[in-house]
Structure 1
Amino acid sequence: MHWIDWLVLIAFLGYTIWDGTRHGKKSENIESFFLANRSMPWWAMGLSVMATQASAITFIGTTGQAYVEDMRFVQIYLAVPFAMIILCTTLVPFFNKLQNFSAYEVLEERFGLATRLFTSLLFLLSRGLGLGIIIAAPSYVLALLLDIPLSTTILIIGITATLYTMVGGISGVIRTDVKQMAVMLFGLGFCFFWIQTELPESVTLSDSLYLAGTLGKLDALDLSFDITEKYNIWTGVIAALFLMLSYFGTDQSQVQRYLTAKSLKDARKSLLLTAYAKIPMQFFILLLGVMLYVFYIFGTAPITFRSVEPVAERPQVEQQGKQLQRNYEALHNKRKKSAQDLLQNKTIKNADQFRQTDKKLQKVRNAELERQEKITQSSLNDTNYILPYFILHEIPIGVIGLIVAGIFAAALSSIDSELNALATISIVDWLKRLDPHDRDESWYLKFSRYTTVFWGILATLAALALGETRSIIELVNKIGSYFYGSILGVFVLLLWIKRANGVGALTGLISGMSTVFIFDRIYQQAETDSWSLIMPWAEVPEAYNKAIEYLWLNPLGTAVVVFVGIGVSVLWDNVKK
């Protein structure tokens, strides 16, 4: 980056760290540290939730996914408004009435300490792993900027975020998130504007959308019902509804936001802000990824967007790469010519020619990615490098620093909130609940900071272990889907099943988790249509595909917990009689 960009980046990060830490220093007890003394305004809470979700993961992963595939990913957010309305009438007033610290405190009174501890443990495991991905996401950007290994950038951002979070409390988190949201929206808007500015003068916005539509990049809705497909409207309305209900209603990192509200009305308004804004925001981010694809139809694009070219050990493999590069350049020019011809004369023949050329070009791209995978002996692609490449090579000096600063600061803000939630559960549900000694608030506040450091180190190690993945945004939701459905099932038993007891709830929770694990490992053989159970340590044959996609694990886990919980509760009551 240019020195001006570095200056902008350093200045903005300096302000962010100062702004967050100055609020954290005001914390005198764990209620102020974790809940800001329940004094936050509704709009700040709502924007904080939005900023946490619209983190570096959203910038990098979602835009890259739209570039590589299409806009169908937006379908999983169709359930957000419905989830927000349901939560505003159920769990939000329930939590607000009890005035608790943790989302899982309420489980002990009805189902016992074991259920509370096990449920909170599932949260710690799921968010601990998820936090590793949140740290890894902006590390891709830093790796491009600094030209250093990904592991080094993970360590830098992980340590920085941990130190910042140790000082800042939830008040600093929320107030800083609001400022990060403004910078993120500016970055998104400027990238979209700059794409339109840098396209050929003859290519209008409607032309760009026409080209994208011709290639199927604007496909956003899939009406087919197929549980083996990741994204269709039924997945978004049904399966994702359980994911969103659990995420916003039982995940401490989200619940903790509206626990800081001044009133029930404010808590509801903060969630409704997300209900109104989430789908349009995600749609726009996906559209940005599609527009990037159109931009590189006319602009110079590398065969892959990876920052480091692997070195081939064999000359023939290196020669293969040079041949693929030549083929790619020829097809890129041919596709550009086909796009221009199509815009001048929008005929079926020209559209077919444009699509066929694009398919051939993508085939060459995929061949190069496969070649790189063979060299590195690992499953890699360039989905998470696309937007960073555009920012570094196309955005003007000065603005680069501000956009990168926004991504970096958004990541810090997301990590901050997650670490704060993990520390809350560790202290409130475990240390304070199980501690036989009567300790003062200053002691627990001190250990809250120590716990934050512990989770920061663990998350950084998780980021190093996870390394790269085909889509950051997908992996986050996949990790959540292992846990969210089952946790939601326990809260369904709590709110609506009067006969449910502690034995039933705990048995149902364990059964739900076990069922989710088993169904996630069921694969279908494409040719014979036979099903097989393949354990994680076994290699999955190429001809096998998942029998059920990860989003459907959420309603599955909820259903198993509820039905097993009811059955075991009734059986237990009969045995006691």
Structure 2
Amino acid sequence: MELSTLDYSFIILFFTIVLAIGLYVSKKAGKNSSEYFLSGRTMPWWLLGLSMVATTFSTDTPNLVTDLVRTNGVSGNWGWWCFLLTGMLTVFVYAKLWRKSNVKTDLEFYELRYGGAPARFLRKFRAIYLGIFFNVITMSAVTLAAIKIGGIMLGLEPWETVVSAGLITVTFSALGGFKGVVYTDFLLFFVAMAGAVGAAYYLVNIPEVGGIQAIIDNENVKDKLNILPDLSDTKAVITILVIPLAVQWWSSWYPGGEPGGGGYIAQRMLAAKNENHAIGATFFFNIMHYALRPWPWILVALASLVVYPDIASISEAFPNVPADKLGHDLAYSAMLTKLPSGLLGVVLASLIAAYMSTISTQLNWGSSYMVFDFYKQQINPNATEKQMVRVGRLSTVVLMVLSAFLALAMQNAMGIFNLLLSFGAGTGLIFILRWFWWRINSWSEITAMFSSGILAILLETTSLRAMLFDPATGLLPEWGELPFIMLITSVIWLSATFLTQPESKEVLRNFYKKIQPGGPGWSKVVEEAREENDEVVIGNEQWSVPKGIVAMLLGVALVYSTMFATGYWIYGRTTAALILTGVALLSGILLVRAWNKMKDTIL
């Protein structure tokens, strides 16, 4: 397709502003490692919240949503909607704990919570495991989506997309550090949202689609509209709804949806001015991410079923797309080719913005692991601030190159999503409990990490999956893979916990004094300390977790009811929309009251 001068103007202006921001903050960002990776811990909640939202809106996100909708209907999104539960738990329980820890990365937490050689190993290994392995896979999935968009919309070869999209991103990321990432995220968020909403409004009303009512009445779409799966289809209910809500949200580690917070979400909480700003940022993020953003993507996905009812129709319309890149996720890019001049430039700029916001965050986050948790710990303990900044910039470039090469070999974002869930299955419970149960130790996390990873690899590379989960001959139900990995992993790490020695009294007491986690899970440590005249409880702060869980549930009700009310308003189902709007208002009022009571426990 041909871009007009107006389209190019939008894109060039956008690139110019982004690079200018990176250059503007580069001098201050290079001042020291704290500035480069945490912006001196001075960031306000609203800027950090917008950065979180921009980061989780990537080029692969609308592609993934399109794949889910076209394959399983709107209800297929419960695969990621379920992570709202862990998101709200992070808001009302874990955000303040992370900010109180005052660590530079979430991996530094390991040597705060645990002790000795196992804690040091865990920190170093996770730096490589997450900072390189997981991080490169995640970035390659994002880059794969960019490749598909470039191929469909601009006819670019995969390597051309990788070079053109990655060069500017790695430049401003390496120069501007965390502050450059967050400042550009502010711009990227508004550009990305404007493009998503504008594209949805236009594409729903093109002649080939015919408007919302025509979509709803279309035979290809009728069975895809429901927010909940068909309750008469037991398999669909279990796989789409029950497993995500009963198991997945708390048991699986996934970038951006970590139980107990972590990764780049933790990085932003650690960069906040104080605990209240950390809480405000994560709450704002969850509302924007779940309640306001999904529907523009969903509408385009539903409209695509009218224009391109199957993969064959996409292939016919775009014969130059390689066979190994064909999939339902291409339908989003295919629909964007129908945009008019001007709007096309805005949408392309929005997709570039989505790509850049996610990649820049992943690069800065991953390089922070390389600097603080590997280079300084393993290679050069006496590294100067300037050396750490230089290593951070070098690792930024290396991570970008690795992810680009991997993206060229990938085919489908949905498969990557499922693989990452499998790798992290069963580990989530540790991340939730390690703050509140003294008995968890380094070996708990080490065994969980290795067992879940090994199980995921065995299921992916051997005949074990067919033997266990084949629909015709498997020993277990087809939907049982994630619960199976979670159960085996949980048994292994719990066994390791009780078969190994607990952390030393010194480590446990120092952690309690710094964090003040409270609760029955630490009563043994508190009582033993008092018997030895070592008071670990400091101040009058009350245990806020019970009230935090109440606030979490109300927050979940607020966001889900808002999101679903929006959908029913769009569908024209007025009664359901009014009921859910009322639920949202009531949940909001109760949440404000619960939060005020919760704040009263922090004295």
TM-score above 0.5:
yes
| In 2: Cα distance, 1:126 partner to 1:157 partner | 21
Partner of 1:399: 343
- Measured in 1, the distance between the counterparts of 2:127 and 2:45 equals 26
Q: Matched residues in 1 for 2:502 and 2:274: separation?
A: 41
Structure 1: 5+ residue stretches without partners? 311-371, 533-544
Per the TM alignment, residue 162 of structure 1 is displaced from its structure 2 partner at its CA by 1.9
CA distance in 1, matches of 2:13, 2:385: 36
Matched, 1:161 2:169: yes
- Aligned counterparts of 2:353 and 2:393: Cα–Cα separation in 1: 21
Tell me the residue number matched to 2:441: 501
Describe the SS at the equivalent of 1:34.
helix
Name the aligned partner's letter for residue 439 of structure 2. Answer: R
Deviation string 1:44-103 (CA, Å, 9 cap, x unpaired) is 111111111111112333234424542122212443332123223443222211211111
In the alignment, is the contact (CA less than 8 A) between 1:80 and 1:278 conserved in 2? no
1:185 aligned partner, one-letter code:
M
Partner of 1:568: 499
Q: Distance in 2 between matches of 1:244 and 1:511?
A: 14
SS in 2 for 1:216: helix
Q: Which residue number corresponds to residue 70 of structure 1?
A: 73
**2:228 corresponds to 1:221:** yes
1:239 aligns with 2:239: no
**Residues 162, 457 of structure 1: 8 Å contact kept:** no
In the alignment, what sits opposite 2:389? 445
Q: Deviations over 1:417-470 (max 9, x none)?
A: 00001100011001111235523211111111111111111111111222x22x
Aligned partners of 1:495 and 1:292: how far apart in 2? 45
User: Of 465, 488, 492, which residue of structure 1 is paired with 2:428?
Assistant: 488
The answer on 1:269 being equivalent to 2:259 is no
Assess if the C-alpha contact under 8 Å between 2:60 and 2:146 holds in 1: yes
Task: Check conservation: 1:66, 1:289, Cα contact below 8 A.
Answer: yes
* Residue equivalent to 1:381: 326
1:149 is aligned, of 157, 179, 183, to 157
Instruction: Classify the secondary structure of the residue corresponding to 1:309.
Output: coil
**Alignment check: 8 A CA contact 1:62 1:289 kept:** yes
Taking only aligned residues, the RMSD between alpha carbons, in angstroms, comes to 3.3
AA of the residue aligned to 2:136? G
Match of 1:106 in 2: 109
The amino acid that maps onto 1:404 is L
CA deviation vs aligned residue, 1:143-164 (integer Å, no higher than 9, x gap):
2344232233223323332222
* Aligned match of 2:10: 8
**Alignment partners' CA distance in 1, 2:393 and 2:80:** 34
Aligned to 1:357: none
Partners of 2:74 and 2:226 within 8 A in 1 = yes
Residue aligned with 2:434, SS: helix
Whether 1:309 and 2:319 are equivalent positions in the alignment is yes
8 A Cα contact 2:146 2:355, kept in partner: yes
CA contact (8 A) 2:55 2:354 kept: yes
SS of corresponding position for 2:43:
coil
Contact 1:511–1:560, Cα closer than 8 Å, also in 2: no
1:361 is aligned to none
- Say if 1:452 and 1:306 are closer, same or farther in 2 by CA, change over 3 A: farther
For 2:40, the equivalent position in structure 1 comes to 37
Kindly indicate whether the alpha-carbon contact (under 8 Å) linking 1:507 and 1:568 is maintained by their aligned counterparts in 2: no
Match of 1:478 among 403, 408, 418: 418
Task: Kindly indicate whether the alpha-carbon contact (under 8 Å) linking 1:140 and 1:385 is maintained by their aligned counterparts in 2.
Answer: yes
DSSP-derived class of the 1:55 partner: coil
Distance 1:7 1:101 in 2: 40
Q: 1:85 to 1:386 in 2, by over 3 A?
A: closer
Larger deviation: 424-433 or 454-463? 454-463
Structure-2 residue corresponding to 1:258:
269
User: For structure 1, which segment, 100-109 or 112-121, has the greater mean C-alpha deviation from structure 2 after superposition?
Assistant: 112-121
1:188 to 185, 196, 201: 196
The answer on 1:529 being equivalent to 2:473 is yes
Kept in 2: contact 1:228–1:547 (CA 8 A): no
Q: Distance in 2 between matches of 1:188 and 1:76?
A: 21
2:83 aligned with 1:80, yes or no? yes
Cα deviations across residues 313-345 of structure 1 (Å, max 9, x unaligned)? xxxxxxxxxxxxxxxxxxxxxxxxxxxxxxxxx
Q: 1: CA distance between counterparts of 2:268 and 2:242?
A: 29
The superposition leaves residues 498-541 of structure 1 with CA deviations (integer Å, 9 ceiling, x where unpaired) of 23333444234323333344456522575743349xxxxxxxxx
Mapped partners of 2:66, 2:261: distance in 1 = 28
- Larger deviation: 503-512 or 17-26? 503-512
Give the counterpart of 1:54 among 52, 57, 60.
57
2:185 equivalent in structure 1: 177
What is the DSSP-based 3-state SS (H/G/I as helix, E as strand, rest coil) of the residue aligned with 1:513? helix
Which residue in 1 is equivalent to 2:22?
Answer: 20
Alignment-derived partner of residue 455 in structure 1: 399
- Secondary structure, counterpart of 1:198 in structure 2: coil
Q: Read off the aligned partner of 2:169 and give its amino acid letter.
A: A
The amino acid that maps onto 1:44 is L
- Candidates 423, 431, 444, aligned match of 2:375: 431
Q: With CA pairs under 8 Å and 6+ residues apart, which has the higher RCO, 1 or 2?
A: 1
113-122 or 123-132, larger mean C-alpha shift: 113-122
Residue in structure 1 matching 2:455, options 491, 515, 520: 515
The CA distance in 2 between the partners of 1:477 and 1:553, in whole Å, is 18
The answer to whether the 8 Å contact 2:422/2:452 transfers is: no
Higher mean Cα deviation, 409-418 or 12-21?
12-21
CA distance in 2, matches of 1:444, 1:180: 28
SS at match of 1:169: helix
Conserved in 1, the CA contact under 8 Å of 2:204 and 2:300? no
More off after superposition, 523-532 vs 105-114: 523-532
Q: Percent identity?
A: 17
The answer to whether the Cα contact below 8 Å between 2:216 and 2:222 also exists between their aligned partners in 1 is no
Asked if the contact 2:251–2:429 (Cα under 8 Å) also holds between the matched residues in 1, the reply is no
Residues of 1 paired with 2:13 and 2:305: CA distance?
Answer: 32
Measured at CA, do residues 296 and 502 of structure 1 come closer, stay the same or move farther in structure 2, by a change above 3 Å?
A: closer
Q: Secondary structure at the match of 1:512?
A: helix
* Distance change in 2, residues 1:553/1:105 (3 Å): farther
TM-score norm. by structure 2 comes to 0.73
1:556 Cα shift? 4.2
Deviations 1:227-266 (A, max 9, x none): 9965234424531343478734454222111111111111
Distance 2:271 2:142 in 1: 23
Partner of 1:119: 126
Summarize the Cα distance change of 1:182–1:554 in structure 2 as closer, same or farther, 3 Å threshold: farther
Secondary structure at 2:28 match in 1: coil
* CA drift at 1:207: 4.2
- What is the aligned length? 487
